[in-house]
A and B are shown apart, each in its own frame.
Chain A
Amino acid sequence: MSSKARRVWSIPWGYRESLVIVLAVAVGGLVAQLLIGPRPGDWPSWPTNLYILAVIVILAAATKLSRWSRFLSFFYSLPLAVALMGAIGFLALVMGLVPQLALGTAPPESLWGRLGLFQVTSSWPFSFLYLLTLVALGATVFRWPRKKWAAFLNHLGLWLLLSAAGLGAGDRERGVMRVREGALEWRAMTSKGVKELDLAIRLDDFILEEYPARLALVDAHSGQALPMEKDSLAFSIDPSLTLSLSPSHLGSSLASGRIGDYFVEVLQFFSKAAPMGEGKFIRAIYQGSVQAALVRAKNSLSGESFEGWLTPGNSTFPPNPLRLGKSNQILAMVRPEPRLFVSKVKIYTKQGQEIESTILVNHPLRAGSWLIYQYDYDTAAGQASSWSGFELTRDPWLDLAYVGFILWGLGCLGLVLRNAKGKSS
């Protein structure tokens, strides 16, 4: 700092004052926490959050008014910004180190629990700091000189996003729904129990496609429970490259590789098969079919050779590993990983809208004000799962958040490109 000692609390306020104010806000939050308990998860909700946003906008815009500007310039000062980011960064560090409890679960009765250590985001210190950040960020947006457009877009985008994410939290709804094949469902499990929605889902079909299963050596004693851990193997062959492309044909081997002491050849592979007695399998395309492969394993030390059909099993058929003589190792097919799961659905909304579509992971369906996600299925049954689970979310503030993301992203691009061209700030 400069050599001339500046009096503390003389305007404009600097780093020391900012730190004190931010700490005071945090302590105020702790007091509130002890007096009235944590912030309820659905507070603030509509329209309270709109009023709060209006107050923030007015405060931020007021920094432009000359009569108050000397005092209000504190809101768009770098010292306050730094102190706030330090405080929020510190709380995030706490959250990153102390496992947080889901909202709605009761925290332990200890002092730390009551102070909100295990549910930081619904604590008052966090909430107060968040609000002050919104005011500071808004003030920075309002006074920004046009020329620094990358920084302006960063601040504006982040401001809109943080407003939508924080103030909109109380308006967000989420539910989980399980629908049986052929059935119609309109009730969803929410954090407040079962709720009837303004839309219904009929599940017409659930389709699961799997990757070809992998082969693995498994300890016969410790690995008794099949299917085994993914990592209980030293090596694995991935027969998918040849197998998924070429139709299986006898004679030549489809894939081969080394697993432990064994040279393993895949002689035949069916992605959908059924057992036909005597440990043999045939191709069979129907719900509940299972993957199967005819495999030969030759021990390169003893020269012993073993051959047989393997299957990872499913809810209908037990797994079928290959015994390797008297050794305590067995060759097994690991439960395949899902490649794709899709629900064919028909959606009916209260407004009389009917939507026929498919829902899969990463491709939610928009229906009315809801977004519908593929959530889960009966993993034990796999391909034969008779139901599909959906997650439903509704967020009235989502569009504002997206506008924020886009502006913020443009600002980031500005930061990168301006530097790529070598211009200094």
Chain B
Amino acid sequence: MSWQWHNWLGPVSIVLWFLGVLAVAFGRRKLGVGLIFFGTVVTAIFIAGLWIHLERPPLKTMGETRLWYAFLLSLAGVLAYRRWSYLWLLIFSATVSAVFVIINLARPEIHSKTLPPALQSFYFVPHVVLYMLAYSLLAAAAVGAVMRLSSSRDNLSPTGLDNLIQHAIRAGLGLIMLGLITGALWAKEAWGHYWSWDPKETWALVTLAAYLISLHLAADPRKKRSSLAMILLPLGFLFLMITWLGLTYLPTAPTSVHVY
């Protein structure tokens, strides 16, 4: 399944996600979740087909990682909806997934089969997949935090939303740190040291610091309702995006070995 297939399967996923969100909004829960899940499966099938066609994991170019992100985020949305019934989360995840597919449709990149030796490693797949999974959960946490901040602050009983946010940052942080650990072990194999203060690594640390502060603030009974802990979640997600996508535009970019 070459990249050309995406011109057909991409729009199919988008339409399925869109119809699914509509169905849920009109009360047809089961149908809607089914449609969205089907859209996710279509994306998964394309990823699998591309993998076979390229004879290497499709995780190298930005376009390929966007594909994974669309898949994992829409999947996380469905799973979270089945568990907590948050419509906004479902709409958010389906919309962002669709945006990533649209970017891929508008800007097809040169998808060559070549994989440079540095990327031919056991750590390659777990490293990127862990990060993509973490991104999806932390995106959900960021949106939840914005909702929390904009809702009334007098309400002091813990809500389902608070629960969801705490779950998302613990699991998301666990995954992002596992991504960091696999990356560090890989760097030791490929470049000789597990941490070299490369701009990408430095920004990963900035991101980690933001989330760790939020987690530890929330763990303090005296600061249970800290709005700083909430503000740090969208901020942390911004740092995450800079680490992932924005590095190329920073003054420190020329010194990074991660900018392709």
Contact = CB atoms under 8 A, between A and B. Distances in A.
Chains A and B are bound partners: yes
A323 B199 CA distance: 43
Interface in A74-125: 78-79, 81-82, 85-86, 88-89, 92-93, 95-100, 121
A412 to B, nearest CB: 4
Interface in B112-156: 112-118, 120-121
Contacts, number: 149
Contact of A99 (B117, B118, B222, B251): B251
B178 A97 contact: no
Given A97-B252, A99-B251, A121-B197, A362 B181 contact: no
Given A361-B118, A416-B178, A420-B171, A425 B166 contact: yes
B110 A211 contact: no
A409 interface: yes
B233 to A, nearest CB: 14
A85 B209 contact: yes
A380 B67 CA distance: 36
B8 to A, nearest CB: 18
B174 A413 contact: yes
B209 A88 contact: yes
A14 B117 CA distance: 51
Given A174-B192, A425-B166, A238 B112 contact: yes
A405 interface: yes
Contacts of A371: 192
The interface centre, meaning the residue of B118, B222, B250 with most chain A CB atoms within 10 A of its CB, is: B222
Interface string A383-424: 000000001010100000100010011001111101110101
Chain A: number of interface residues, binned into ranges: 35 or more
B192 A78 contact: no
B245 interface: no
Interface string B173-200: 1110110010011100111111101010
B250 A97 contact: yes
Interface string B208-223: 1110110011011011
A249 to B, nearest CB: 22
Contact of B110 (A14, A93, A236, A395): A236
A165 B177 contact: no
B163 interface: yes
B197 A95 contact: yes
A39 interface: no
B202 interface: yes
Interface string A40-82: 0000000000000000000000000000000000000011011
A338 interface: yes
Nearest to B178: A412
A358 interface: no
B206 A100 contact: no
Contact of B203 (A96, A364, A413): A96
Interface in A101-152: 121
Given A96-B206, A415-B173, A415-B174, A86 B113 contact: no
Given A95-B202, A419-B171, A78 B216 contact: yes
A240 interface: yes
Nearest to A77: B220
Contacts of B171: 415-416, 419-420
Contacts of B209: 85-86, 88-89, 92
B174 A414 contact: yes
B174 A412 contact: yes
A424 B202 contact: no
A211 B189 contact: no
Q: 10 closest pairs, A vs B, by CB?
A: A89-B209, A415-B174, A361-B117, A416-B174, A419-B171, A412-B174, A92-B205, A211-B114, A78-B220, A96-B202
Interface of B: 83, 110, 112-118, 120-121, 163, 166-167, 170-171, 173-175, 177-178, 181, 184-186, 189-195, 197, 199, 202-203, 205-206, 208-210, 212-213, 216-217, 219-220, 222-223, 242, 250-252, 254-255
14 contacts: A78-B219, A82-B220, A88-B205, A89-B208, A165-B194, A240-B113, A340-B120, A362-B186, A395-B193, A405-B184, A412-B177, A412-B178, A422-B167, A424-B163
Given A82-B216, A401-B194, 9 more contacts: A81-B216, A82-B213, A92-B206, A92-B209, A235-B110, A360-B117, A415-B173, A420-B171, A425-B166
